[in-house]
Amino acid sequence: MDTLTHALSGALLARVLGRGTVAPTQAAARREPRIFGPPVAVWQAVAVGLTAAAFPDGDVVLKWVSDLAYLRGHRGVTHSLLMLPLWAALLGALASLAFRRRDAWRRYSWLAAASIAIHIAGDWITQFGTMLLAPLSDERFGLGSIFIIDLVLTGIIATGLLGSALLPRSRLPALAALALLPAWVGVSLVGKQEALQIARDYAKRHGIAVERVDAAPRPASPFNWTVFVFDGREYHVAHVNTRRSEPLVASADDNIIRRFSAPYAPAHLARWERLPKFGDGTAEAALAREVWEHPEFGFFRWFAMFPLVYAVERGEPTCVWYRDLRFVFPGRSSEPFRFGMCRADGGGWARYALDSIAGRAAVR
């Protein structure tokens, strides 16, 4: 999920947790400070929520170290449930200093913990996933139902915050928006199950010995999906809209939502592509397999969900490039996370990244 939506989700949750101008009962007033610390101003709670929910994406600094460090570390320790208490305590302490309320550090820490948690949840529902158990494990967990940028999800959060601003004495707008978020995720899960069924039906009709069936969420609609049937050698791939009965036609003058949604066809009109994982040519496929199995290419084997050879370049040097079909969809102008290995005559394989603008760069 994008960082702006993360930050706004933290602000929304903090607004729900903030009491506003409503006075607590006497019993609650006696009990609450012992557990959560003394109350703080709503604007301070929202500020802490906004900041803490954006904090995990601070791991973008790993890009300054190297492409490999970012690939391996993004959505790692800053997105870990195991590390959450530490980050919450640190952010709570910083907030208590910033607001000159050292007596309220526990309150700020709880708010930070909740906001980091909603960030982690926001990444968990995407297909990129997140390393919930870092640093003890680098396994990625992901529901895989929401595209990385979901305008409806962001709109629900923004509407809840706007309603809270217009009705500052009430938490109801924020509560309503927060309740709608899992409902929207539920809609996307329905779309995913429909997409998976389309893939299974295709495999059954064509007698494919299935090794894996999966689906990747796409922009503009919870019913836009790229579906994958993998038989161990080839990907069978189609872009489908699970609810559409007729094709959607879009021109260059149409709005961006329609243009992004048009390539996703009704299931009965889906155009299936067959993409060999290691390419077509025998010699090229042998090189592709050699690179794929190379010990130094383990980072990409760990990272990629739908790895596919992108290009085999023979020359000086010889290079084999891979991409992840998870990040390839109609309307995208460039592909991220393309990696490979190159070697000169008589030399060994070395890792490289391929950028659309910068070109080839060594991976350290």
User: How far is it, in rounded angstroms, from Cα 144 to Cα 128?
Assistant: 7
- CB distance 259 to 300 below 8 Å: no
Crossing angle of the two packed helices 105-124 and 84-98, in degrees rounded to 10? 130
- CB distance 352 to 362 below 8 Å: yes
- Residues β-bridged to residue 273: 237
- CB distance 223 to 244 below 8 Å: yes
Q: What are phi and psi of 227, to 5 degrees?
A: -105, 145
User: How far is it, in rounded angstroms, from Cα 49 to Cα 41?
Assistant: 13
Q: Which helix (H) or strand (E) holds 136?
A: none
- CB distance 221 to 264 below 8 Å: yes
Look-up of token digits 């708010």: 111
User: How far is it, in rounded angstroms, from Cα 170 to Cα 15?
Assistant: 10
Helix (H), strand (E) counts: the chain: 12, 9
Give SS3 for 212.
strand
pLDDT tens per residue across all 364 residues of the chain = 899 999 999 999 999 998 654 444 445 445 556 678 889 999 999 999 999 999 999 999 998 888 788 889 999 999 999 999 999 999 999 999 999 999 999 999 999 999 999 999 999 999 988 999 999 999 999 999 999 999 999 999 999 999 999 999 899 999 999 999 999 999 999 999 999 999 999 999 999 999 999 999 999 999 999 999 999 999 999 999 999 999 999 888 888 889 999 999 999 999 999 999 999 878 889 999 999 999 999 999 999 999 999 999 988 889 999 999 999 999 888 888 999 999 987 788 999 998 877 788 888 7
Closest-CA residue to 14 (of 102, 119, 86): 119
- CB distance 45 to 89 below 8 Å: no
The reported pTM is: 0.91
